[in-house]
């Protein structure tokens, strides 16, 4: 059961990732965004298989929810016909594929020596929260300030120039 | 079917990272490149969660929690920058952005 679900979610994540990178059927950015959502949801399925339930929920809420809404808003705000018509240059495609296959060869070569590892009992959401609010309280507060700064920055960036 | 171990998850993570890099390298539209960046971030997140699971250590999950938060802030700021740039240039193509001056 675990193996079946793993292969299902892994195939879904990789396929939709590939369709974000290169979609032979459509050049519409909205289609890309939708496949990105699919990849995020498959990833949250993998998180559930890894017993990271809280992160799975966060992944769906933040990525498939908030981030994707932002992406879709921006895509629909702009007229992207121009970028849809542009083709990928052959030179760029060859170089990009070469670079990615080089990186892939490196990563998979390193993975061949990875130990199989055994699944260890890892804490629940309760333990995660306890760790977050005791040992990692300072980074947590910093992140909250970062979110505030980002919010103010975005409002400032996106307002039109005052006359 | 064999048991699913750490290398299985790491292979998926490396694959996601590679597809994200491919998206960044193949496209010149800023939005498409941004989506590739998100894919790369998620590939790294999956590796962290898998390590956390197979080493019995919650620190990896905490790291992913912070990564997701920072990524959300980064997406908001980045997209606001893209919109501001689009207002200025009527284009979101990376090849059109060649000078620092507005």
Residue B1 has pLDDT above 60, yes or no: no
pLDDT in tens, B67-102: 999 999 999 999 998 888 888 888 788 877 787 776
How far apart are the C-alpha atoms of A150 and A140, rounded to whole Å? 15
Q: Identify the pLDDT of residue A162.
A: 56
For residue B58, give the nearest of A63, A74, A131 by CB distance.
A131
Extents of the domains making up chain A: 1-103, 122-163
DSSP 8-class letter at B87: H
Q: Does B97 touch chain A (CB under 8 A)?
A: no
Per the DSSP assignment, residues forming a β-bridge with B29 are B93
Q: Identify the pLDDT of residue B8.
A: 87
ipTM score here? 0.89
Extents of the domains making up chain B: 6-94
Please state whether B90 falls in left (phi above 0), alpha (psi between -120 and 50) or beta: left
Residues of A within 8 A of B36 (CB-CB) are 20-21
Residues of B (48-67) whose Cβ lies below 8 Å from A:
49-50, 52-59, 61-62, 64-66
A157 and B84 within 8 Å at the Cβ level: the answer is yes
How far apart are the C-alpha atoms of B79 and A33, rounded to whole Å? 14
pLDDT in tens, B5-57: 888 899 999 999 999 999 898 888 888 899 999 999 999 999 999 988 888 88
B93 and A154 within 8 Å at the Cβ level: the answer is no
Nearest to A14 by CA among B23, B96, B72: B23
Q: What is the architecture, at CATH level 2, of domain B6-94?
A: Orthogonal Bundle (1.10)
Q: Identify the pLDDT of residue B7.
A: 85
Q: Identify the pLDDT of residue A120.
A: 72
Residues of B within 8 A of A117 (CB-CB) are 5-7, 54-55
**Which of A2, A7, A20 is the best mutation test for B, with the most CBs of B within 10 A?**
A20
How far apart are the C-alpha atoms of B48 and A117, rounded to whole Å? 14
For residue B52, give the nearest of A122, A136, A143 by CB distance.
A122
Pick the CATH number of A1-103 from 1.20.120.1200, 3.40.50.10090, 1.10.357.10, 3.40.50.450: 1.20.120.1200
Chains A, B: CB contacts under 8 A, how many?
227
Per residue of chain A (163 residues), give pLDDT as tens: 888 999 999 999 999 999 988 877 777 888 899 999 999 999 999 999 998 899 999 999 998 889 999 999 888 888 766 656 666 678 878 888 898 899 888 888 888 877 777 777 777 888 888 888 999 999 999 999 999 999 999 999 888 765 5
Please state whether A133 falls in left (phi above 0), alpha (psi between -120 and 50) or beta: alpha
Q: Identify the pLDDT of residue B45.
A: 94
Q: What six digits make up the tokens of A107?
A: 């990563």
């Amino acid at each position: 059961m675990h193996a079946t679900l793993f292969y299902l979610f892994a195939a879904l994540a990789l396929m939709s990732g590939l369709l974000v990178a290169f979609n032979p059927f459509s050049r519409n950015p909205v289609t890309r965004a939708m496949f990105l959502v699919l990849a995020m949801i498959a990833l949250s399925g993998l998180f559930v298989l890894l017993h990271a339930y809280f992160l799975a929920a966060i992944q769906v809420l933040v990525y498939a929810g908030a981030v994707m809404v932002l992406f879709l808003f921006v895509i629909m705000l702009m007229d992207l016909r121009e970028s849809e018509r542009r083709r990928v240059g052959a030179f760029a495609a060859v170089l990009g594929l070469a670079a990615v296959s080089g990186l892939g060869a490196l990563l998979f070569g390193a993975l061949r020596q990875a130990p199989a590892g055994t699944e260890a009992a890892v804490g629940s959401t309760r333990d995660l929260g306890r760790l977050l609010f005791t040992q990692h309280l300072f980074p947590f507060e910093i992140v909250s300030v970062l979110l505030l700064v980002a919010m103010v920055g975005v409002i400032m960036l996106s307002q039109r120039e005052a006359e | 079917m064999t048991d699913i171990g750490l290398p299985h998850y790491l292979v998926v993570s490396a694959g996601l990272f590679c597809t994200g890099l491919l998206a960044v390298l193949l496209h010149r539209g800023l939005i498409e490149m941004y989506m590739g960046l998100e894919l790369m971030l998620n590939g790294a997140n999956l590796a962290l969660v898998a390590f956390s699971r197979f080493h019995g250590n919650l620190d990896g999950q905490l790291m992913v929690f912070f990564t997701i938060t920072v990524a959300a802030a980064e997406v908001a700021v980045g997209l606001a920058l893209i919109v501001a740039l689009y207002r200025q240039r009527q284009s979101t193509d990376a090849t059109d952005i060649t000078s620092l001056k507005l």
